[in-house]
Structure 1
Amino acid sequence: MSKAEQRDQMQNGAGFIAALDQSGGSTPKALALYGVDASEYGSEQEMFDEIQKMRARIILADGFTKEKIIGAILFERTLHEMIEGKGVADYLWQEKGIVPFLKIDKGLADQENGVQMMKPIPGLGDTLAKYPSVFGTKERSVIHEANAEGIAAVVAQQFDVAQEVIAAGMVPIVEPEVNIHSETKSEAEEMLKAELLKHLDTLEDGQNVMLKLTIPTEPNLYDTLADHPRVLRVVALSGGYSTDDACDKLAKNGKMIASFSRALTEGLSKQQSDAEFDAALKANIDKIHTASA
């Protein structure tokens, strides 16, 4: 199947994106929620082995299908793992019909001007060239308060990285997350929307992006972004909300679909039987799919 088919699925597919991209910083917490205590792994490699088992279990589950999940975001180490004899990205697309994305950011810099920019991403062009079967990327920064200078800097950095991704023939998911606990969340979102529109208007035909944004305080605030000709899709992050809260808030936004991580895996446990695990995952998938639709 071609990149054109993948693009059509991302632009028009009825479903959501599974965020399976926990990296070094977020893996211990994700494993703890999954019922794997830190005492059960003695090294970073053993930790990543545990999270890979969890990801493989999710991907192999009967409910993890293209009918409800149109894409999946992966951590780079995951791309070197195998599921049933195939690389994870190839397995997702060839066996499941789910479009693979790669998380490329290297974490967050210290807070300044109310935001956390991305740390530098050295050798990005070389990294992207290694993964021809990956459709796009995801890169995250965080906005903590309505600081115009900080928000402008975050968005400018995001679009600088996006240009490099586009040049490599991929579609970037631009992710300037607004902290759900920010006391100026709604004002920050208005500022963010204006900055995003300014940068989207500089893109040329064929230079397309996706946007991954915190569910806005004002429902449908981001409809203008979703309608922009350079935007394939606007997706929502769960941002620390529970699955039910995230789904309730998302359902009020007609032009956003989910790209949930923690809300997708809520209630899953290593100790569950396969039947219990599949049932719990399917319940989350159904909830998130309904909210996205």
Structure 2
Amino acid sequence: MNDHLERMKNQKGFIAALDQSGGSTPKALLNYGVPESAYTNEAEMFDKVHQMRTRIITSPAFDSQYILGAILFEQTMDSKIEGMYTADYLAEKKGIVPFLKIDKGLAEPSNGVQLMKPITDLDEILQRAKERHIFGTKMRSVIKEANSESIKAVVDQQFEIGKQIMAAGLVPIIEPEVDITSPDKEQSEAILKEELLTNLNSLKEDENVMLKLSIPTVANTYKELTTHPRVVRVVALSGGYSREEANQKLKENDNIIASFSRALSEELNVNQSEEEFNAALKEAVTSIFEASTEKTGK
């Protein structure tokens, strides 16, 4: 685990988000060229998505030279690649740090935000994650309006659960996403930054988190967070931007690396030959790596 921590803190690269869950899987499969008519139930759907993820992870383009970590969905963690549990395959065969998405999705919108639904089996998930050699976790909330009380509630919920994750020996990725279509996105980000700092400053010296944030409207809004002693790494989600746009915006932010999902896989298709697939993935991986390492920020 110390090797993983050292890698996440100091090495160049980005995190691949391969954690589409039940709600977003049909869309992810459709983007990959697999229509809903190709499966008849949830089990078949997850088989299809595991085939897609296996193809990505086993590709020579999915290389630790560029990719530091990968975020998995629970069923992916419990599935195997070439006879090995996915996290073991990532760590041992690829040299890539495995993370697990643990949230149960979003609650209904209320006062400009969406909190996380209760994670009722958190202790059990964390225990299984440790058994499967997972390094860290990820959980997502969404901020749609610059409501100070609501944003505080989002961050407080994230850190409350985050402390349980840290107590179990894992590193949480705190993800309070600001909706990129929000009319007051910049104001929301200013409030969010202060709430994050307040919570970070209350952590003990052995409590470390990662932050996954929307790329800010004002470049380097989160620069102070990237140097906080309790922050292992700040990563950015693509949030609905195309890869080109997400890469361009990311380059303006010092010390922040990508953790893209759709922007990573948008050019991949089930009908591509291995050569075409690997070339498309290689292009995506190298461009996201460059955006994560070559900065134009001031």
Cα separation, 1, equivalents of 2:192 and 2:183:
15
2:224 is matched with 224
Measure, in 2, the Cα distance between the counterparts of 1:13 and 1:255: 11
Q: TM-score by structure 2 length?
A: 0.97
| Structure 2 equivalent of residue 236 of structure 1 | 236
1:129 to 127, 130, 140: 127
- Structure 2's unaligned 5+ residue stretches are 294-298
Q: Distance in 1 between matches of 2:114 and 2:256?
A: 24
Query: Structure 1: how far apart are the matches of 2:48 and 2:179?
Result: 29
Deviation at 1:68, TM superposition (A): 0.3
CA distance in 1, matches of 2:76, 2:93: 17
State which of 9, 12, 20 in structure 1 corresponds to 2:10: 12
**Does residue 290 in structure 1 map to residue 290 in structure 2?**
yes
Q: Which 4+ residue blocks in structure 1 deviate beyond 2 angstroms?
A: none
Matches for 1:154-233 after TM superposition, within 5 Å:
154-233=154-233
TM-score (structure 1 length as normaliser): 0.99
Matched, 1:63 2:61: yes
In the alignment, structure 1 residue 30 sits paired with structure 2 residue 15: no
1:38-187 to structure 2, matched below 5 A, reads 38-132=36-130, 133-187=133-187
How far off is 1:267 after superposition?
1.0
State the Cα distance separating 1:80 from its structure 2 match: 1.2
Deviations 1:227-273 (A, max 9, x none): 10000000000000000000000000111000000000011000000
Q: Aligned residue for 1:249?
A: 249
What SS class does the counterpart of residue 18 from structure 1 fall into?
Answer: strand
Query: How many residues were matched structurally?
Result: 291
- CA deviations 1:139-173 (Å, max 9, x no partner) are 00000010111100000000001001001000000
Give the superposition deviation at 1:13. Answer: 1.3
Q: Tell me how far 1:131 sits from its aligned partner.
A: 2.2
- Counterparts of 1:234 and 1:73, CA distance in 2: 15
3-state SS, counterpart of residue 73 of structure 1: strand
- Structure 1 unaligned segments of length 5 or more: list them: none
RMSD of aligned alpha carbons: 0.5
Q: Which one-letter code corresponds to 1:106 in the other structure?
A: K
